[in-house]
Amino acid sequence: MALVEINFDGIIGPSHNYAGLSLGNLASSNNAGAASYPKAAALQGIEKMRANIDLGLAQGFFMPLDRPNHHWLSGLETDMQSAEPHIRAAAFSASSMWAANAATVSPAPDTVDGKCHLSAANLLTMAHRSHEWRGTLAQLQLAFANERHFAVHAPVPAPFGDEGAANFMRLCASHDAAGIEIFVYGKTGGPFPARQHVEASKAIARAHRLGPDKVLFVQQSEAAIAAGAFHNDVVAVANERVLFTHEHAFEHPEQTYADIKRLMPEAEIIIVPADRVSLPDAIQSYLFNAQLVTLPDGGMVLILPYEAQENARVWGWLTEMVEGNGPIRRLVPVNVRQSMANGGGPACLRLRVVADPATVDQRFIADATKLDTIAEVVAAHWPETIVPDQLGDPDLLDKVRLARMALLEATDLVALA
Ligand code: SUG
C-alpha cells in the first residue's frame, strides 16, 4: 500500500483533570480547579476518531501513560500521599493525550535514508509534561518497531526544550512526495515561556537526516506566545501544499512566506487577517488547532472544535473562506470540549505519521470494531468526574491504574504496563 497520512490520537486517560499546570496556556489557567469528566472526555476523543474513519482517513491511537508516575515521584524523594499539591498534580496529569506533543515526525520521502524518523519530545519546560517521554518513547518503539521503515530517536537532551509536532509543519505536493519541513521555535513570549528551543529543532533536523535545502527554522511571534499561543499549532496548520495561518503567527511573516515560496513555489498560503480574527479570538476559538486533512477524493476539510463555530467572527470568516474558490472545501466541527478546557483542540490530540499502515504494529491501528471495544472499556472503568483536591485519594488512584490496565488488556498492549 502507498504511504498515507495516519492520525494517531492519544486516548484521553482516566486521570484527566484540570490542575492549571500550564503557564501561558489560558484555558489551562482559567479552568484550574474545575471538575473534569474523564469518561466523557475519552468518549469525545473516540467519537472524533470514529468520525475521521468515516471520512475515509487512516486512524491510529496511543495508550494513556501510567499515572500517577510513581517513578518520577520517587526520583523527587516523595510519593502521592506526601507530595505537595502541585507535584502531586504534575505526577497525575493525563497530558500525554495531546499526541501532537509526543514526537516530531519526518516521513520517509523527506529523509536521506528513506526511513520515517520519529523523535520523542522532551517536553521539559512544563514539570507535568517533562516525565512523559519515557512512556512515549516505549510506545513509539513498539508501534514503529519495523526498522526497515522507521527510526525512533530518544529526546533531545536538556536544556533545549522540544514540544514535538506542535511546533512543526510539513508542506508537500502530496503526502507521499518529498516535502519541506518547517520547524517553528520561540525566543521569548512576554510573560509566558517559549517552549520550543531552536537548538532542539536543529538537533531533530540533523537526527532525521533532512536535506538542508528542505528545512526552514522559523521564529514564532512573541506577540502570539504572549497572547496564549503556547504552541505554533494554536495559530497555524499545514496540509500538503496549504499553509493556513494567522497573520501574527510568525515573528517575521513576510520573510517566512518568501522562504516557503522559494523552497516550494506551489505552496498556497491562506492568511487570516487580524482585523477579521484577532489573536484572542483565534486562541479562544482554536480555529487553527484544526485537523486540516485531505479526503480520499482529494478535497481538503478543516476538522475544528465546536468553540470555533460558536465564535461569530471566526465562523463568519471561515464560512466566507469555504464559499470562495480556495483549497479548503468544508468545515467539520467536533466536540472535544473536555480537552479544549485544558487547551487541547482536535490537532493537539493527534500525531500525524505518513507511512504505509501495514508497516505499523497493527495493535495501534484503529477501526470501528476496535473503537467500540475501547469505548466499552472507557464506559466501564473511567472515572465520571475528578476534582483536583481528590488527587491524593487512594481509591481514585487505584481506579485510574486499573482502568488503564483494563484498556491495555483489551487492546493486547499489556507490554506497555
Ligand atoms: O501542554 N495542557 C497542554 C495542552 C497541549 C496542547 N497541545 C498542542 N497545542 N499541540 C499543555 O499546555 C494542561 C494540564 C492542566 O493544567 O491540568 C496541559 O498540560
CATH code (residue 89): 3.75.10.20
CA atoms within 13 A on the CB side of 268: 11
Ligand 1 pocket residue status of 234, Cβ below 6 Å: yes
167: cell is 511546533
What is the position in ligand 1's atom list of the atom closest to the CA of 95? 19
**pLDDT tens across 34-63, in order?**
999 999 999 999 999 999 999 999 999 999
Return mean pLDDT, the chain.
97
Q: Domains in the chain: how many in total?
A: 1
Ligand 1 pocket residue status of 100, Cβ below 6 Å: yes
**pLDDT tens across 228-268, in order?**
999 999 999 999 999 999 999 999 999 999 999 999 999 99
Ligand 1 pocket residue status of 121, Cβ below 6 Å: no
Q: Summarize the confidence of residues 275-294 as an average pLDDT.
A: 98
The pairing of strands 300-305 and 328-334 is: parallel
Q: Is 163 a catalytic residue?
A: yes
List phi, psi (to 5°) of 23: -60, 130
pLDDT at residue 1 greater than cutoff 80: no
What is the position in ligand 1's atom list of the atom closest to the CA of 93? 17
**Cα(28) to centroid(ligand 1), Å:** 7
How far is residue 376 CA from its own chain's centroid? Answer: 24
**Cα(6) to centroid(ligand 1), Å:** 22
Q: Summarize the confidence of residues 357-371 as an average pLDDT.
A: 98
What is the position in ligand 1's atom list of the atom closest to the CA of 32? 16
CA distance 303 to 281: 18
Task: Give SS3 for 172.
Answer: strand
The answer to whether 328 and 302 have CB atoms below 8 angstroms apart is yes
List phi, psi (to 5°) of 215: -130, 140
The answer to whether 353 and 6 have CB atoms below 8 angstroms apart is yes
What is the position in ligand 1's atom list of the atom closest to the CA of 195? 1
Residue with cell 481528590: 390
pLDDT at residue 388 greater than cutoff 90: no
Closest CA to 299 of 329, 323, 325, 279: 329
Domain range spanning residue 368? 4-416
Q: Which pLDDT score is estimated for 211?
A: 87
Ligand 1 pocket residue status of 231, Cβ below 6 Å: yes
| Residue located nearest, by CA, to atom 1 of ligand 1 | 22
Residues facing residue 158 across a β-bridge:
none
**Cα(34) to centroid(ligand 1), Å:** 15
Q: Is 248 a catalytic residue?
A: no
Ligand 1 pocket residue status of 41, Cβ below 6 Å: no
**Cα(2) to centroid(ligand 1), Å:** 33
Ligand 1 pocket residue status of 228, Cβ below 6 Å: no
CA distance 101 to 103: 6
Site to substitute for ligand 1 among 231, 232, 349, 389, most atoms within 8 A of C-beta: 231
Ligand 1 pocket residue status of 348, Cβ below 6 Å: yes
Catalytic residue among 131, 208, 231, 248: 231
Ligand 1 pocket residue status of 104, Cβ below 6 Å: no
Per-residue confidence band for 392, with pLDDT thresholds at 50, 70 and 90: confident
**pLDDT tens across 306-317, in order?**
999 999 999 999
**Cα(147) to centroid(ligand 1), Å:** 31
Q: Which pLDDT score is estimated for 30?
A: 97
Ligand 1 pocket residue status of 19, Cβ below 6 Å: yes
Ligand 1 pocket residue status of 123, Cβ below 6 Å: no
| Residue located nearest, by CA, to atom 6 of ligand 1 | 344
Closest CA to 170 of 214, 207, 128: 214
Task: Give SS3 for 389.
Answer: helix
What is the position in ligand 1's atom list of the atom closest to the CA of 233? 9
Q: Is 246 a catalytic residue?
A: no
Closest CA to 106 of 23, 171, 53: 171
| Residue located nearest, by CA, to atom 12 of ligand 1 | 22
- Its pTM surpasses 0.85: yes
Site to substitute for ligand 1 among 18, 95, 351, most atoms within 8 A of C-beta: 95
Q: What string of DSSP letters covers 87-118?
A: HHHHHH--GGG-GGGTEEEE-GGGBTTS-EEE
**pLDDT tens across 196-231, in order?**
999 999 999 999 999 889 999 999 999 999 999 999
List phi, psi (to 5°) of 334: -130, 155
Ligand 1 pocket residue status of 98, Cβ below 6 Å: yes
Buried b (16+ CB within 10 A) or exposed e, 1-21: eebbbbbbbbbbbbbbbbbbb
